[in-house]
Structures are given as C-alpha cells and as structure tokens.
Structure 1
C-alpha cells in the first residue's frame, strides 16, 4: 500500500485525509481506512493508557 492510499488524521484541524496532505508534525497515521483515521485521538489515548499501566507495574 502506498502512502497515497493510506489515511491520516490532521491534528490542527481534526480532518481526515487520504495521503500525506498535512505537514509531518501535524498528522497522525498512517491508518488503513478512513474510519480508523477518524479514531486517531481515541487510539492514541488508549495506547497512552496502556503504556501508563505498564509503567505502573
């Protein structure tokens, strides 16, 4: 899958785009599909919570 076929979440606007539209420092991804990219912040929060839990162990 090329970068143009992957989905990204733009942090500053909350927009989801196909391909690397936003600057590298302003995007999250790549994600396999639009629905997953729309959940970027939720996914990041879950990963952070899991990492914090590991740190506590």
Structure 2
C-alpha cells in the first residue's frame, strides 16, 4: 500500500515520495487526505495562533 505526499512547490500529490523531502507534506494514507494537506496546515496554524492570543 502506497503512501501519498503533497508537494508544496507543485501543489500536486505524489504516490510515494518522488521529490526532495523538504518540498513534501506527509505521508498520508490516501490521495484524498494528501489533496487536503494545505487546508489542514492552514487550520492548524489558525488554531495555534488563536491559542497564543
């Protein structure tokens, strides 16, 4: 079973890490979860910022 990675440079999902690790978010168990990677990061950042206030 392959892992999926989100490339923050190309904004594409990769099956298995194909790019340099510094450009990837993951691994994710499904392509769908990898496609939502940036939304998850943004939501976490917003929550963390709210905790600091």
User: Which TM-score applies when normalising by structure 2?
Assistant: 0.90
TM-align CA RMSD: 1.1
Structure 2 runs not aligned, ≥5 long: none
The aligned counterpart of 2:16 is 19
1:30 aligns with 2:11: no
Structure 1 runs not aligned, ≥5 long: none
Counterpart Cα distance in 1 of 2:21 and 2:31: 18
Which of 19, 44, 49 is the aligned partner of 1:47? 44
Q: Structure 1: which 4+ aligned runs deviate by more than 2 Å?
A: none
User: Which TM-score applies when normalising by structure 1?
Assistant: 0.84
How far off is 1:55 after superposition? 1.0
Aligned residue-pair number = 53
